[in-house]
Structure 1
């Protein structure tokens, strides 16, 4: 058996029984597992051992697990992070989202569930490594990027990451919010997966199988996502469009569920509202415009002021060349 792509895992968990079960299960799959119940020791292990993945509870001995993960994110902006918790809250959910956590798992968590998450993350790592230098853009400059995206969620995530990096934006809120907007457009727009469809599946593995099945069916297979990212003053303006039938977005906004459970369907719209400063759908509900007023840029990059004072009150972005 070859080594997993995410070979070395650091698990920070104050429940010894959970640590033992997960360590034995992951070791059987070929993973090297480092464990501790202490955030300070976890930081030391991360620095010395350089694990490929960190799994942490939000409640640790004498420490806050999300604060620990924020410190890990400072040390390594790209390391995948998985959060485990026995209960959630809006504050915790938003903090976790801003860390771009790979998953947010509510206890009890089976080892099979963890296997599913790791399988998905390893595919994501493989895609990231193999698309690192791929030509993704049909039009690109410092002001605006326009691309088309298919219905593969992991490829779409990589496209979002690369677009923002290409423009010099380094803001986790923008990345998480824009990724959720694209995922929503794929799932509920192009693939027409309803909340009832999503609720009917038992776990993430079944849901991903549903997405792959729907993506290969007519008429969904030929549909594309359009993504435009454009600088606006010290911020940016984004537009995500799908080729689905649209939806009653006003009702969805009015009855959107609480964000307490990040695994709950409907979280995308909540995260979009929380992480962007403004949003607006077209009447049909298949094009979404987002605005962020102040965006962190990579070192050496500066946002260019070239947009009207209130872009959302004007119109949707024109297509390339207009």
Structure 2
């Protein structure tokens, strides 16, 4: 505890814990501390006490921090006001500029940093008061403009960091994330080129997986998606920097080359460069290489800070994606095991789901279906009969004709299957297809009696594939049908059981031998 009291600080916040911590810390440092729970109480204190500096939250009852700052500016514009908030926004930041606020801190605030801020603000206040006596309004205006510029710069920095964090939250695959890293690198640093390399112990050189090149107008003019070794063309960065990347991996530290010289071992065409390792679980996974190839732009410590911050966030996102993909693959394996268990109960239907899936995807592809639609059918086709796990063996494997009650029970399997998938919280469209794959185009199907366009197109495709494989394969209750009878059922169901457009495509593929080949080639 010091013998002489320092300046008087006023802390204004509606969170009692913040007031207690700040009071205890700064009293131990020798400051005189006053506290208030809101701006109205603080205004009363300022009217009766000599205040040297005020720290205030923004959101408070009765009088908020911005209103208090405006009040202080009108009462005594020599009292510096520092805003502390846990919810920064551009709107609030701009409003603080108009109220003479000298600094803008984001909670949680480190107490050591807070003390440094106090010392700086007090020093600036003394200079400010001196300037008032010497040059008054002219010097005061210049100082205020400088503070405004500093605050504007801080706002820009916060927005940049927020953008980096936000950009990675919606990315669903590792490759998309690599692409976004290099694109964002060129956008934030005015670089000419950015490449991301994966470090693989099985190869001698880093492997490039993403690249962004910027044209003279600042817009991306080319991206390489395919993997390639560093220095290879096409698809690699303009210059071979393999050895420098490997050296950087060994050091595991960001590298800034502000101005290229012979000592760096860089190609002469690179004028400025940053190398930032991406580390996952204390092991370097990849390296981001960002380069300036022309012009007067040179990278700074601030650029390196942004790239390092982005690399940390990207590493965290990659870990999450990898974990999700692993869970996703395990989930698929579990569901397919269920399907396998169902088919194992009936040797006659073994591999039925695989054949139906291949036939449905072939039909979809021939009808101009997108890759996304084919992927949906790949899941729905594999799982379309998963609901049969809830049907008793004596019904499912009955060799003779089913009774009305038995048929009613077996008709429940599309609903059971849809509910199984629904509980996973995934595949909404796949769930609908599974539920609808026994609907008929004329409305006489089950479980919902949908008709025509009410039935999803992919379900109409799956229905054709399912029926064709069922009658073209041996079953527990009958042998495979004759070829003529198969075609009679399929073509005769056009417009009644099946969508006529899907049957037209079926007719074309059957004539080419595609569908028969799928059935015969799948064990």
Which has the greater radius of gyration? 2
Structure number with greater CO (CA < 8 Å, separation at least 6) is 1
Choose between structure 1 and 2: higher helix proportion: 2
Normalised by the size of structure 2, how large is the TM-score?
0.28
Choose between structure 1 and 2: higher strand proportion: 1
Normalised by the size of structure 1, how large is the TM-score?
0.43
